Structure 1
Amino acid sequence: MKRKLLLGSLVLLSVFSTDSLAGEFPLRGGKSKRKSKPNLLREIPYQMEDSTKADSVYSPQEFKPSIQVGSIVHMMASYSQVGYPGSSPSTNGKPEDWVRGAMLYRARIMVGGQLSRKGSFFLETELPKPVGSTPGGKNEQSGLIMLDCQYEHKFSEAFQVISGAQLVSGNRNGLQGAASLMANDFTFYQYAYNTFAFNPVGQPLRSNFGRDVGVNTRGLLLKGKLEYRLGVFLGRGLNGNDPLRTVGRLVYNFLDADKNFYYSGTNLGKGKTISLGLGVDGQANYINVGPDLFIDLPVGPGSITLNTAFQYVSGGTDTVSKFSYTRLIPNSTIQFGELGYYINSLKIQPWIRYENFTSAAVTEQTSGVPTALFDKTHSSTVFGGGLNYFFNGYGTNLRLSYVTKTATTPSATVPFETETKAYGQAWLQLQFFFF
């Protein structure tokens, strides 16, 4: 009953808060007839605007608190091999057998509010697990969890403070919003060790869907061309006196400024973006560092989107410290590339993606397993592609994809031998998104 009252209240807020909904809050490239207000819902990309113009701004006489409410939903049907990560566990078939599935994959309620001329908040809920993916799952009750809960104080364009639960990463792909992805879903390894996704050796950072709790600072300099982020977060936080997790990022935008707090995965033909970034994420003897490049430019009858990144990750070699990550995170490298082309007149976007996780562990990190065997069984490759159809931009779209994961596992029949296999998944996903 409480859940129904909460949802009902949010719906009423979304109906009566007309000043802060679609008329005031355009998608990229859209134009409002009224004076624009700050982007309060993190998942929604800003329109691509002239970086020389000041944003949003109310005189002291005009200001009044406001609220925005929205939701994003992903529903999907899949046809997967049993050995593919996350495929339906309801079958007892062989790893190469194919099984079908359908689920409510993502259902988020977003609430943003402008509390003062400089202060705002953002809340976002999520399903703790997909509904319909397990035996009886379609009839299983699923409560909501708090995904984002943050307060931002904007002292100026050059200095903002964001505190609370928020998406945390040193690289661009790990900071993308779910509403504007180009591929069918977030990547396998750009959130390495930082979420509930399918990572090689578990979740040492103990985050919540890539979120962590802490204080972040952010600023836009040089008319929005240069962005910095630097924050401290709880990280693993097992003992109460663990070293804090520190995450930093520096980005230069060569063309249009990118003001999104949660980045977009594709701009759907709006604006011109070339962003080069460098990020670092560390706690105790854990380190994750690397560059990334994002390009979204008009080309011919549409626009091309390129998103690439490289990361070096290590848990160090100190096995004595009680804060050690040594046996949780091996030395490894991660390569990521995503390429797509949006055709304006047809509203379709074909895309491909490649990811590679390569383990290069040292003896201290393998718990007695020979390093060569450890590296073989902890390395994997993901490759796939798809076709998106955008009925209404980010608001309503359909995505068809096929992705394979190739990994090496210990042989089930021959001791000390390994076998390499690839498993696939076809995915049809519907997104609807309102605000």
Structure 2
Amino acid sequence: MKIFHIAILLIGLTTLSPLVWAGDGTHPPKKKSGKKRGTFLLELPASLNTSPVDSVKRKPDSIEARLTTAPAEEAPFKPSIQVGAIVHMFASAEQSGFGAPSTDADSKGWNKGFSVYRARVLVGGQLSKKGSFFMETDLPSAIGTQLSSGVKNVKVAPIILDAQYEYDFANAFSLVAGMQLVSNNRNGLQGAGGLMANDFTYFQYPYNLFANSPLQGNFGRDLGVNARGFLANDKLEYRVGVFTGRNIDGGAPLRTVGRVVYNFLDPDKDYYYAGTKLGKGKTLSWGAGWDEQASYYNFSTDVFFDHPLGDAGSLTLNAAFQYMTGGTNLDSKYSFATLIPKQTVQYLELGYYFKEPKLQPWIRFENQHIDAAAEQTNGVDPSAYNKLNSSAVYGGGLNYFFNGSTTNLRLSYTARSYHVATPTEGVYDKQTYGQVWLQVQFFIF
């Protein structure tokens, strides 16, 4: 009988030991430390490589010794993959002159409609311990009513928006290759799922949106290689990249983009920045960057502050200033002189998140001041050219967060003002056009 009891005890402990070593099996896979964009590395308990039979053969002196015996080797790495989506849908009303100013009386009329503005599929994964990938699709135009034209789209083929591979050599140096978001300032590097306002700003990368834009971009993306790293206890971040930019014959010089940012409080290691953090953490950053190709160059500086303020919630401030020009050299076939006029851009977003009601009111102001040289206007008088091409955007809204950036509802009003030529030479009227959005977002990755 004693031998029978010992046998039962050994069988019970042998069966129990993998469960003790492996945990209860209910915890989700852990994120790999320091990785971005939500990619996961599945970390299997090393004890799963040890069979119950081997445990019995070792015959430790006690049960406690058996449970604390270290595994002989680590589990082999296994690639992982993650799939997500982000969708922005809205009901909207917009005056006809919002997209392009007009002296026509009908430009003050309101167009109305429903649209699926973004519908992205996100795929990312960990391919090796240091290598990961990210892909994202998007709609080249909204599904639904195009408010600027009144035309209704009911079927739109998706496009590849991001396609990139990242390899982390060290915390201080990683490389990202492929099609990726390119900008020298924070707002231009924000992710669509973490915006505070209803949408991206109008002037942060106005020449990099489409294939027919001066920099031949793809919704702010470009093809190239970008280096990134963190120094000074992760407080200092740098990004330096080389991209295709504008290329009409294969011989154009490459586009180079760089950015340096210092975080005075918490480190901020997201690859695509958040426009608001809803009180999670304490962030104060100052950044500066450049963007140049041939005769075009763009210098910028930006400040971001997100910090709990009082018991009610947290304050978010995002501001930037840019100076850009296409130069005045008309002799080179790679000149941007007549494509990008000299200008300055000012941008400010300010919001406060009330954590109990989950509400966030916000305001925004942007100003694009064109100051083109005579070589940049294609023969148009510079004073008239500058007046007609400068514009400002301002507005505000109220966000309700069902569950942070995962699901939320945004109501916003945005106004855009232009100067419009009148029949009297040298006299311009200032016209303002409005846009109202009620937008729902759902996002998971």
User: Are 2:145 and 1:133 aligned?
Assistant: yes
1:8-43 per-residue CA deviation (whole Å, 9 max, x = no partner) reads xxxxxxxxxxxxxxx99xxxxxxx76532368774x
Q: Could you report, residue by residue, the CA deviation over 1:370-423 in whole angstroms, capped at 9, with x for unpaired residues? A: 111111011111000000000011110000000100011222x44553221000
Which residues in structure 2 correspond to 1:110-129 (within 5 Å)?
110-129=122-141
C-alpha contact (below 8 Å) 1:40/1:121 kept by paired residues = no
Within 1, Cα distance between the matches of 2:42 and 2:173? 16
Change beyond 3 A, Cα 1:39–1:105 = farther
Aligned residue number for residue 36 of structure 1: 31
1:205-237 CA deviation, whole Å, 9 max, x = no partner?
110000000000000111210000000000011
Is 1:400 aligned to 2:397, yes or no?
A: no
Q: Which moved more, 1:419-428 or 1:168-177?
A: 419-428
Q: 1:152 aligns with which of 163, 166, 177?
A: 166
In structure 2, what is the Cα distance between the partners aligned to 1:116 and 1:98? 53
Percent pairwise identity: 54
Q: Tell me if the contact between 1:75 and 1:431 (Cα under 8 Å) persists in the aligned partners.
A: yes
Equivalent in 281, 289, 312 of residue 271 of structure 1: 281
- Secondary structure of the 1:192 match is coil
SS in 1 for 2:387: helix
Q: Which amino acid is 1:190 matched to?
A: Q
Tell me which amino acid in the other structure corresponds to 2:321. F
Task: Give the alignment partner of residue 95 of structure 1, picking from 101, 104, 107.
Answer: 107
After superposition, the CA RMSD in angstroms is 2.4
Task: Say if 2:263 is the partner of 1:253.
Answer: yes
**Other structure's SS at 2:98 match:** coil
> What is the CA–CA distance in structure 1 between the aligned matches of 2:210 and 2:402, rounded to whole Å?
30
Q: Return the alpha-carbon distance in structure 1 between the equivalents of residues 394 and 256 of structure 2.
A: 31
Show the 5 A alignment for 1:424-435.
424-435=434-445
Q: TM-score, normalised by structure 2?
A: 0.83
Decide whether the 8 Å contact of 1:389 with 1:397 is kept in 2.
Answer: yes
Q: C-alpha separation between the residues in 1 aligned to 2:82 and 2:394? A: 38
Change in 2 beyond 3 A, CA 1:354/1:220: same
> Does 1:213 pair with 2:210?
no
The CA deviation at 1:56 is 9.9
- Retained in 2: the 8 A contact 1:317–1:364? yes
Query: CA 1:260 to 1:359, structure 2 compared with 1: closer, same or farther past 3 Å?
Result: same
Aligned counterpart, 2:401: 390
Match of 2:162, as an amino acid? D
The one-letter code of the counterpart of 1:37 is K
**Is structure 2 residue 164 aligned with structure 1 residue 169?**
no
Confirm whether residue 142 of structure 1 aligns to residue 152 of structure 2.
no
1:161 aligned partner, one-letter code:
L
Please tell me the residue identity of whatever aligns with 1:319. Answer: L
Change (3 A) 1:94 1:65: same
1:19 corresponds to which residue? none
Report SS of the residue matched to 1:152: strand
Residue by residue over 1:39-95, the C-alpha shift from the partner in whole angstroms, topping out at 9 and shown as x without a partner, is 8774x699xxxxxxxx998996352100000000000111111111289xxxx9711
The one-letter code of the counterpart of 1:232 is V
Determine which structure has the larger helix proportion and give its number.
Answer: 2
Quote the Cα distance in structure 2 between the aligned partners of 1:62 and 1:394.
35
Q: Does 1:104 align with 2:103?
A: no
Are the structure 2 counterparts of residues 101 and 414 from structure 1 closer, same or farther at C-alpha, using a change threshold of 3 Å?
farther
Task: Identify the match of residue 191 of structure 1 among 205, 223, 226.
Answer: 205
Summarize the alignment of residues 268-307 of structure 1 with structure 2, pairs less than 5 Å apart. Answer: 268-300=278-310, 301-307=312-318
CA distances 1:247-284 after superposition (whole Å, capped 9, x unpaired): 00000000100011100000011000001000100000
Aligned length: 387
Aligned counterparts of 1:288 and 1:248: Cα–Cα separation in 2: 11
Change (3 A) 1:309 1:360: same
Task: Specify the SS of the correspondent of 2:386.
Answer: helix
Aligned residues of 2:124 and 2:132 also touching (Cα < 8 A): yes
Residue 171 of structure 1: how far off its partner (Å) = 0.3
1-side partners of 2:35 and 2:409: how far apart?
A: 26
Alignment of 1:4-43 (within 5 A): 34-37=29-32, 42=37
Letter in 2 for 1:158: A
Equivalent residue letter for 1:94: D
8 Å CA contact retained: 1:45, 1:180 = no
Match of 1:179 in 2: 193
Given that 1:304 and 1:340 are in contact with CA atoms closer than 8 Å, whether structure 2 keeps it comes out as yes
What is the CA deviation profile of residues 271-327 of structure 1, one whole-angstrom value per residue up to 9, with x for unaligned ones? 000010001000001011011000000001100000000000011110010000000
CA contact (8 A) 1:177 1:263 kept: yes
Match of 1:75 among 86, 89, 92: 89
Cα distance per residue 1:85-117 (max 9 Å; x no partner): 289xxxx97111112121000000000011100
- Looking at structure 1, the residues matched to 80 and 188 of structure 2 have their Cα atoms a distance apart, in angstroms, of 30
Q: Secondary structure at the match of 2:107?
A: coil
Q: Describe how 1:235-250 pairs up with structure 2 within 5 A.
A: 235-250=245-260
* More moved, 417-426 vs 55-64: 55-64
- Residues 40 and 114 in structure 1, CA contact (< 8 A), matched pair in contact too: no
Amino acid across the alignment from 1:256: D
Moved more, 77-86 or 217-226: 77-86
Bigger-Rg structure (1/2): 2
Name the CA distance, whole Å, in 2 between partners of 1:331 and 1:57.
53
Normalised to the residue count of structure 1, the TM-score between the two structures is: 0.84
